[in-house]
Amino acid sequence: MVWECLSVPLHLLLGDEEYLVERSLRRLIDAARAASDDAAGMQLTRMRAGDASSAILAEMLSPSLFGEDRIVALDDAHEAGKDAVEVISGTARDMPDGVTLIVHHTGGGRAKALAGTLQKLGAETHRCAKLNASERVEFVRTELRDHGVRASPDVITLILEGVGSSLRELASACSQLAADTGGAVTAAAVQRYYSGKAEVTGFDVADKAVAGNRAAALESVRWALHTGVPHVLLADALGEAVRSIARVAAAGRGDPGRLAGQLGMPPWKVRKTQQQARAWRPDTLAVALRAVARLNGDVKGGAADPDYALERAIVEITGLAG
């Protein structure tokens, strides 16, 4: 797929694999802005189609008075009501000038027929379905190739065994391995980085830490370190979790679908982070942000014992939550 330019203004993200939906959407938005004469001023409107009234959708999708380029991204269109489906279909039949319309649809739901309608109307379809085992093999091969790495079947198998089935984690692993090995991704490198219990990831550790679950977070980080998960990945996941909570908390309460575009996060992540943010106050978040910033330096050579630095940060963060 060539993302640098868009051949059509109508796009369908078809499937329920959140990572593929999120990545395809981000790439389409970047490509639309790259093709615009006013990339910086190009407006992005994103919301759940199932939450929008037909009047709101009609306003979002109507031609602009001044002809400005804009992007409209509709999440979860499979949940849209009858009136909303009619507005989306009507717009797709006669796309307004300057509008790039990106519709996410799982392929099922009460508005199941909408996906087929959009395809018949010329939507460029981006496959975002969950992958089976053989497709995950090809996914890893493609990810590595995109980083300039040609990997043997044994290496790909080791990555899948070591990291697990999460596409988000697999993509991160491929990127990290390519960067840290200078493109020489061997079986030994994979075993050194990702051997062991695949289910324990940096995201697992971070979720437990920001929830204040000290015992579980410490147990998970110790197992992750024991099985070879790099300190940097664990620290990055912890930092990302705390920073996401700070951003969502600062945005205030609101519908995840509406906040997604503002925060640059998919709605599911906004929803999850809103729940995590309930355990935090502005003052405790400020302390936690300093803790993860310090940890970032510690695991990159600033501390004599990075294992201890990780555990110390987890103890501090779990003590602040709640």
* DSSP codes joined into one string, 6-29: -S-SEEEEESS-HHHHHHHHHHHH
Residue 18 in this model has a pLDDT that exceeds 70: yes
Which pLDDT score is estimated for 3?
44
Cα dist from 286 to 214, 217, 247, 272, 290, whole Å? 19, 21, 12, 20, 6
Eight-class DSSP state of 95? P
Which pLDDT score is estimated for 195?
54
In whole angstroms, give the CA distance from residue 88 to residue 110.
15
What's at 19, amino acid-wise? Y
Residue 2 in this model has a pLDDT that exceeds 50: no
Q: Which residue in 272, 312, 263 sits closest to 290, CA to CA?
A: 312
Residue 256 in this model has a pLDDT that exceeds 90: no
> What mean pLDDT is predicted for residues 198-208?
77
> What mean pLDDT is predicted for residues 76-88?
91
**pLDDT band with cut points at 50, 70 and 90 for residue 64:** low
Contact partners, residue 291, CB within 8 Å, separation at least 6: 242, 313, 316, 317
In whole angstroms, give the CA distance from residue 228 to residue 224.
6
> What mean pLDDT is predicted for residues 52-58?
77
> What mean pLDDT is predicted for residues 162-191?
87
| Residues above pLDDT 70, as percent of the chain | 94
Which pLDDT score is estimated for 204?
83
Q: 25 near 267, Cβ under 8 Å?
A: no
Residue 260 in this model has a pLDDT that exceeds 70: yes
Which pLDDT score is estimated for 314?
97
**pLDDT band with cut points at 50, 70 and 90 for residue 224:** confident
Which pLDDT score is estimated for 65?
64
**pLDDT band with cut points at 50, 70 and 90 for residue 200:** low
Which pLDDT score is estimated for 194?
65
Q: 88 near 74, Cβ under 8 Å?
A: yes
What's at 143, amino acid-wise? E
Greatest mean pLDDT among 122-136, 193-207, 264-278 lies in: 122-136
How would you class 268 by CB atoms within 10 Å of its CB: exposed for 0-12, middle for 13-18, buried for 19 or more? middle
Q: Phi and psi (nearest 5°) for 123?
A: -65, 135
Cα dist from 76 to 39, 107, 118, 245, whole Å? 26, 10, 14, 24
> What mean pLDDT is predicted for residues 258-279?
86
Q: Whole-number mean pLDDT of the chain?
A: 87
